[in-house]
Amino acid sequence: MGLLARLQQALFRWHSDGSAPLRLGQRRIFIVPSRPGLFFAVALIVMLIGAINYNLALGHALVFLLAGLGIVGMIHTFRNLHDLVITPGRPEPVFAGETARFPLTLDNERKAPRLALELEAVKGQFVEAAIAGESRITIRVPLPAQQRGWLALPRVRLSTRYPLGLFTAWAYLQPDMRCLVYPAPIIAPLPEPSQAQSGSTRQGEGGQEDFAGFRERLPADPLHHVAWKASARQGGNAPLLIKQFAGGGQSELQLDWAQTDPTLAAETRLGILAGWVLAAEAAGLRYGLCLPGSNQAPAAGDRHRQACLEALALYQP
Amino acid sequence: MSTPARLALDRQTAPWLFASALITTLPHFLHQPYWLSGLAALLLFWAVWLWWKDERLPGRWILLFLVGTGCAGILIEFRSLFGRDAGVAMLVVFMAMKLLELKSRRDAQVVVMLGYFLLLTHYFYSQSIPTGLWLLVAFWLLTATLIRLHGGYVSSRQETLRLAAKLCLQAIPFMLALYVLFPRVSGPLWGLPSDAHAGMTGLSETMSPGSISRLAQSADIAFRARFDGNQPAKHKLYWRGPVLEEFDGTTWRPTAGRGASPALDNLSPPLRYELTLEPHNQRWALALDAPMQLPEGVSLSSPLTAMLRQPLTERRRLQLAASLDYRFNVDEAPGTLQRNLVLPPGANPRARDLARRWREADSNPSSLIGKAQALFAASFTYTLQPPLLGEHSVDDFLFRTQRGFCEHYAAAFVFLMRAAGVPARVVSGYQGGEANPLDGYVVIRQSDAHAWAEVWLAGRGWVRVDPTAAVSPARIETGIADALPFGEPLPALVQWRADWLRGLRYRWEAINNAWNQHFLGYDPQRQRQLLSRLGLPDADWRSLASALGLTCALLAAALTAWSLHRRPKTDPAWRLWQKALRRLAKREVDCAPWETPLALAARVRTQCPELAETFQAVVDAYLKARYGNAPNHLKDLRTAVAQLR
């Protein structure tokens, strides 16, 4: 940590703000003249000298009015941040190489709008925001996700120059927010299902070969699975029936760390696994994931896919 | 180079900038050369047109060419780029040019700053009340432009103007504090450019036929006077300007060089008064005849004119005293008397002839004066439009035209007296004045400019004789408006006779005078007076600066506290509900943000069973007060909350 960073640490007492809503109080907001503000001050001095030199009473009045405007502008710039309530949200996971977006809800309890707010998480990248009076908006602070794993939101600088641009007021936010970054998927052909896995007999809807009986239809079952004749025999008010088959699980797939080329780098192998997970999910297969030290039982669906990707993201070789 | 989107200028900002440029440059069109106004208007129009058509702004070379053209024009017109007028012209050109270069927010900021700067330059030309009001309007618009610039396209016009008005109003207390307490320095800090005081009107140092009648056609105020006691009669108010002793046939001039200081016997008690002189760029102070006590910086010349040390370039107040009855230089130096008998050789033979005949009949000076006055009273006309006079101007006037203004009468009278052997000279200045009943100030305008004569009589010294009084007594008794027939080119302001018009004029001038005296005339001396009245005697700049810092800090603190104060929600039901929640929090039952009152009540029933009943009552009353439409539920809620202990 450099000297400057250490000084800033001591001065601004950086620490996590937690995940609770935080209200910007007077101690959190800093304010200094901006570059146009300094220019304005120099112009005022020149104008004052002119007014004295030509003995212009109205010139004095103008310069003093401008000086008053500067002070008032400072207060209003400060006020543009003061009492703003910031609530951290939950960022959606992304793949490495994409941009993570951290949602922050800014709540303006005042009647007056707050305009020209700028959020800066990465130096030079600004997100602009304006909040109408007595309302709230949600801002997604972008942050490039480069590595898999947890991506924490760094310190965010919330700044404004509104209304006059003569002062810059800012506050540092460090809400406790992190975004899960999955490994960047690498497109590769799916591995052949291994015999040992596919041989296991399981009860379920996967197979459609050996008739095993009827069951009542659940709302999620597609209409073409309904056994219309059997249902008609049941009578008017009875629920619809669905044929059940004993599974022939040839479409069950076990994705294994060991199946990837061991000569490749670990990150590449994780990428290949992530690509397989996506491909398997897209093909509507049941799949499991086996990593050294962790194992996801075969299943399908969004939650399963997320669980697999999370395991890949957090895998420690 | 492209501008980052964050710093780019949104399209709808441009009309604000055009309006700002227009309001700050427009009044300068009144006194600028036409070509410059035309150029600025053309550039402005071009910028608006480009914006309207959404076309590209002109390239750098075109702009450079335009700047070059503008500067060259200014250089040719004013022979400089840095004088007062040339500097203002440059600013106007820059302002118009900047509109063709609006690319980023920074450009727009420069326009607003230039606008604030241009506001200042208007006060070189006028510091009247309308200018002051216009200052406020222009200031408001510029500030709104600045706000709009930073607020971006989401800010509505109305909201922007309202915020700008709010900021300006909040800035005014600071301005007043600074205006009163900022240590005043009397300028100038260094030499002013030579055109700094151009365009002032007033008496000139010489007098020729027509010079005063031209001046009299202006209604501008020359100075104001306020008497400590009663105002003397109008016909006694002779405000003395330069005394003209040398005559070359057409023009009267003062004698160069210093003479002996005047010897004065005052025969009446001092009449104290205060003069507020408008700048006329000359040294005379226009004191009332005869000046007794002079303030510092004012001295008497040998012909009894009160003179300032420097030409008067700004409004100035003087405390003076006069003796209306006096004897002046009873023992005059022979050289001076000789000088006041000299006539240009060969000029005006008929007038000389007339004077010689008068003297042969009766050489007593009083009878000579009487004869001249009788001559004027008989067949002469007092007019602002005298016919042109020939080579022998006095002969022409006396025997041919017989129509003239005060300078004709004074000049002819002095000529006749000198030709008859009585030392005489012309005195120019102002006569009379109009008292404003509202504030008690006597207003003396350029239209009150006057010329009269002074003759030297043995044993009595220099005696004032006003030949105009013989022609038109009304001029001296009541003023020029009554002395001239209708149709003379007098300013309308002076001619107004109707009472209501006059009343309006009095009111307007009294307001103007108060503005001049108290606002514009606030100088280091006034500041000291005011501060000692406020309990800060002999304030030096250090105590002023600390008083100023303290006042501004207090103002800023008050404004900060007021604007940052979180006003409680005004809904009384909501406030009572919050109170109930605070009481609940003491029992360690906290309401989560997502919890509805009913859900909270259910939770209280399990967590705090002893409170369940009273809290349920609170919830019922709150829901009824908040969402029902019966107003008396508020009372129920209040009692329910009170029972929640």
Interval A169-228: pLDDT, tens: 999 988 888 999 999 998 888 887 654 444 444 444 444 555 666 777 766 666 777 777
In this prediction, residue A175 carries a pLDDT of: 87
The nearest CA of chain A is from the CA of B545 a distance in Å of: 14
pLDDT tier at B474, thresholds 50, 70, 90: confident
A115/B168 Cβ within 8 A: no
Q: What DSSP character marks residue B419?
A: H
In this prediction, residue A10 carries a pLDDT of: 62
A163/B163 Cβ within 8 A: yes
Q: Which of B123, B159, B175 comes nearest A59 by C-beta?
A: B123
How many angstroms separate the CA atoms of B220 and A155, rounded? Answer: 67
A64/B174 Cβ within 8 A: yes
A73/B175 Cβ within 8 A: no
In this prediction, residue A158 carries a pLDDT of: 93
Both tokens of B266, joined, read 């005052």
Is the confidence at residue B172, as pLDDT, over 80? yes
Residues of chain A in contact with residue B172, where contact means CB-CB under 8 angstroms, are 65, 68
B172/A26 Cβ within 8 A: no
A66/B135 Cβ within 8 A: no
How many angstroms separate the CA atoms of A294 and A298, rounded? Answer: 13
Give, in order, the Cα–Cα distances in Å from B137 to each of B14, B24, B164, B268.
19, 10, 11, 53
Give the helix/strand (H/E) hosting B165: helix B157-181
A164/B178 Cβ within 8 A: no
A53/B190 Cβ within 8 A: yes
The nearest CA of chain B is from the CA of A84 a distance in Å of: 11
Domain boundaries, chain A: 1-180, 183-200+251-317, 211-248
The nearest CA of chain A is from the CA of B120 a distance in Å of: 6
Residue of B nearest to A44 (CA): B117
The nearest CA of chain A is from the CA of B222 a distance in Å of: 19
pLDDT tier at B447, thresholds 50, 70, 90: confident
**Which of B310, B460, B465, B271 is CA-nearest to residue B373?**
B465
User: Which range, of B13-17, B37-41, B215-219, averages the lowest pLDDT?
Assistant: B215-219
Selected for mutation to probe chain B from A23, A71, A77, A120 (highest B CB count within 10 Å) is A71
Selected for mutation to probe chain A from B6, B84, B107, B123 (highest A CB count within 10 Å) is B123
Is the confidence at residue B84, as pLDDT, over 50? yes
Both tokens of B46, joined, read 């071009």
pLDDT (mean) for B155-176: 93
**Which of A198, A191, A166 is CA-nearest to residue A269?**
A191
The nearest CA of chain A is from the CA of B151 a distance in Å of: 6
Residue of B nearest to A45 (CA): B117
In this prediction, residue A14 carries a pLDDT of: 58
pLDDT tier at B79, thresholds 50, 70, 90: confident
Give the helix/strand (H/E) hosting B601: helix B597-607
CA angle in degrees (0–180, nearest 5) for B588-B593-B594: 115
In this prediction, residue B642 carries a pLDDT of: 85
Q: Which of A54, A128, A165 comes nearest B187 by C-beta?
A: A54
pLDDT of B345-357, one tens digit each?
888 888 999 999 9
How many angstroms separate the CA atoms of B407 and B213, rounded? Answer: 8
Bridge partners, B465 (sequence order)? B453
How many beta-carbon pairs below 8 A join chains A and B?
A: 159
In this prediction, residue A248 carries a pLDDT of: 47
In this prediction, residue A199 carries a pLDDT of: 42
Single-letter code of the amino acid located at B528: R
The nearest CA of chain A is from the CA of B574 a distance in Å of: 15
Single-letter code of the amino acid located at A233: R
Is the confidence at residue B570, as pLDDT, over 80? no
Mean pLDDT by 10 residues, chain A (317 residues): 68 66 86 94 93 87 95 94 90 92 90 90 87 88 91 91 92 90 89 54 47 67 73 74 59 84 88 91 86 86 90 88
Q: Which of B188, B519, B556 comes nearest A71 by C-beta?
A: B556
Phi, psi of A182 (to 5 degrees): -80, 155
Residues of chain B in contact with residue A47, where contact means CB-CB under 8 angstroms, are 116-117, 120
pLDDT tier at B194, thresholds 50, 70, 90: low
Residues of chain A in contact with residue B115, where contact means CB-CB under 8 angstroms, are none
B151/A162 Cβ within 8 A: yes
B131/A165 Cβ within 8 A: no
Give, in order, the Cα–Cα distances in Å from A271 to each of A100, A254, A288.
18, 16, 16
* B152-160: long-range pairs with CB below 8 Å, 24+: B152/A115, B152/A116, B152/A128, B152/A130, B152/B10, B153/B10, B153/B12, B154/A113, B154/A115, B154/A130, B155/A113, B155/A115, B159/A113
Give, in order, the Cα–Cα distances in Å from A220 to each of A35, A250, A298.
63, 23, 21
pTM of the model: 0.72
pLDDT of B98-147, one tens digit each?
999 888 888 999 999 999 999 999 888 888 888 889 889 999 999 999 99
Residues of B annotated catalytic, as ranges = 406, 450, 466
Q: Which of A62, A69, A115 comes nearest B120 by C-beta?
A: A62
